[in-house]
Structure formats: C-alpha cells, structure tokens
Amino acid sequence: MSDGERSVGEEPSQAVAALAAHGVAAAHEAYGRAGLLDAAIRPIQQGIRLAGPAVTVLCPGSDNLMIHMAVEQCHPGDVLVVATAPPGDASGVIGELLATSLRAHGVIAAVIDAGVRDVAALRAMGFPVWSRWITAQGTTKHGPGTVNRAVLCAGQEVAPGDIIVADDDGVACIAAASAVDVARAVVERVAHEDSIRPRLAAGELSADILGLRHAAGGVRIASGEQ
C-alpha cells in the first residue's frame, strides 16, 4: 500500500531539465559511474530522452493491481517505476489502457522491471516505456504490493522522488538529494566534451588531448609497418 508521502517536487526544475537534456551516459558518469539499471531494461521506442521524479510500485509476479492504485498518486512530469517480486517478471504489467490513464495524470514514461504489452499502440500514442520484456502475457489484479516506497528495480534501489533519466542507452536513477550536484557536474562535463570535439574533428589525437600516453606507457602498440 502507499505510505502517502513522496519526496518529489523539491528538486529545482533546472536540474531535471539538465539531466533530461544531456541523457543517461552523462548522468551516469557525473554520478560517479553509478545509478544504472540493468542493461536488459531497454526502450520500446527510439529517440526519446527524458527525466523526471519516480513514482515507485512493487507488484507480485503476474499481477498489476498496484499500478492501477498508483495512478492517483502521480503528478505531471513523473516517471512510473515498476518492480516485481520476484524480480524481472515476464508478464505484460502495462499496456495501452493503463498508459492512457497514466498519461491523463501527467506521467511522462514508465520504467518496468517486467514486461510491456500493446507495444504498437504505445508507440503510436507516443508513451515511452523502458522494460525488460515485450510480451502479450496478461496479469491478475489481486495484489499485494506497495506504492511510493523504495523498491529494487533492475538492480538499483529507487526511492520515491529519485530522478529517473532515460534514453536510447538505458535508464539511470539519481538520488533526489544528489540531483542538483549531478546536474551541475553533467553541464560541466558536456561543456568540456564540447570544447574538445572540434580538436578531434581537426585530427588531434584523443591520447594527446586527454593526456593518456603515460597511462598507455606499458602497452605495446604495433605501428602497422612491416
């Protein structure tokens, strides 16, 4: 059941916007190479990059009652995060009807450590989903479960209000308390990358720009000459 409390809405919108703009890889690096969900969590669409606070759900295997119960806890800009017990259930816990309801309450995406169904309809309506499985397998609606309590989703602990960043590369979870600092580090990292990109395009070697020759000092590299 829901504990009735969330830590969402505290993070400055600029931090969420920066994380959304620069994506998962930058967020992951800026967060100390932490926060990535299992690589098996993949998008059903392409070209979508977003970020938002998590609404968390825990469902038993092959059951989605708690997702229905979570809808009224959602706010515009939220990302629904669904974990299952046992983890990685291969049932389609979200489909087109639930996505329609979630969208009506402002949810911008779902991240599911389980299956998704009605994929063609979800793509057509433009509702982004990252999931472990694509499957037509249906679910029961008996529960039990939880809403807006910390869950273990695809190998990462996700608390209500943590910032979920998702794009074609996967999904990362940034602790709510760290979001502002991570967003600042992301902006700095991207600015640095932007500064060296023209040099790489002009033919300079990354080994020189990044000072990597010392690190590679013990590595034998063939010149290609005979």
pLDDT in tens, 107-166: 999 999 999 999 999 999 999 999 999 999 999 999 999 999 999 999 999 999 999 999
This prediction has a pTM of 0.91
- The span from the CA of 113 to the CA of 84, in Å, is 7
Position 10 scores a pLDDT of 45
* Positions in the chain short of pLDDT 50: 1-2, 4-11
Position 54 scores a pLDDT of 98
Position 7 scores a pLDDT of 45
Report whether 86 contacts 61 (CB < 8 A): yes
144: nearest Cα among 88, 92, 84, 97: 84
Position 218 scores a pLDDT of 61
Position 216 scores a pLDDT of 78
Note the CATH architecture for domain 13-183. 3-Layer(bba) Sandwich (3.50)
Q: Which residue has the tokens 């998702």?
A: 166
